[in-house]
Amino acid sequence: MVKTKKNEFGIDVDEMMKAGVHLGHRISKLHPKMQENILGVKNTVHIIDLEKTAKQLERALRFISEIFQKGGNLLLIGTKIPLKNLVREIAEDCKLPYVTERWLGGTFTNFKIIAERIKYFRELERKKKAGEFEKYTKKERQKLEKELADLKEKFGGIKEMEKIPDVVFICDINKDKLALREANMKGIKVVAIVDTNADPTQVDYPIPANDDAISSVKYILEKVAEAIKKCKVKSEK
């Protein structure tokens, strides 16, 4: 594999290889539309062409940078159990809305209703913080606490999301296919990690990469975070 020089986003093929970005799925799981991103096979596992990954990642980062330069926003989606903490940490660090629990059907296609539930959730949080729960009976408080916990699990990551995002970043389009479908239905641009078992044509900015290894997803998300932070610093000057 030919080594590439780091570009303005610091993308490096050797670093991606160390992170396992190149390791796809077994050859039996190949999606035919991912064939052009395959470099070869090793131990019955498809090897992703990291030169192409580097180019696609750079293209995606340029697009995300343009969105943030225009004052737009991005929703980060990653509900796969091993990735939840990573996705949450990256999102909170960049002050992005995020979804790490089950995708709620209608989040995009019926956002008006979702927004009403988020408003109610925030009001319950305000009441608890203000000590207003104390005026209720113990049984009533327990019911409110349970309701608040349920709402936090569903809407905690998107409670500051006042409108549909300009772009979504999906860590696994097979796992979060409903989110992908809703984004496509609403015309929301999609940036996503696309492994060898997924269809890249469903995504506006596909990044061919291993979507199972935490190290692989971490490498890509950190590049996204760096690009977003640079844009925010520039906008604050």
How does pLDDT run across 103-162, given as a tens digit for each residue?
A: 999 999 999 999 999 999 999 999 999 998 888 888 999 999 999 999 999 999 999 999
- Among residues 92, 123, 158, the one where a domain terminates is 158
Residues 175 and 82 sit within 8 Å (Cβ to Cβ): no
Residues 19 and 218 sit within 8 Å (Cβ to Cβ): yes
User: Are 168 and 116 members of one domain?
Assistant: no
Any domain includes 35: yes
User: Are 168 and 70 members of one domain?
Assistant: yes
Q: 76 pairs with which residues across the strands?
A: 98, 169
Q: Which domain holds residue 17?
A: 13-108+164-236
pLDDT in tens, 7-31: 679 999 999 999 999 999 999 999 9
Any domain includes 79: yes
User: Are 223 and 184 members of one domain?
Assistant: yes
Any domain includes 215: yes
On the CB side of 207, how many CA atoms lie within 13 Å of its CA? 30
Domain count, the chain: 2
Any domain includes 33: yes
User: Are 88 and 200 members of one domain?
Assistant: yes
**Which structure tokens are listed for 15?**
């670093």
Angle at 192 between CA 187 and CA 196, to 5 degrees: 125
Give the phi and the psi of residue 211 in degrees, each rounded to 5. -100, 10
pLDDT in tens, 178-220: 999 999 999 999 999 999 999 999 999 999 999 999 999 999 9
Any domain includes 3: no
pTM over 0.85: yes
Any domain includes 7: no
User: Are 55 and 93 members of one domain?
Assistant: yes
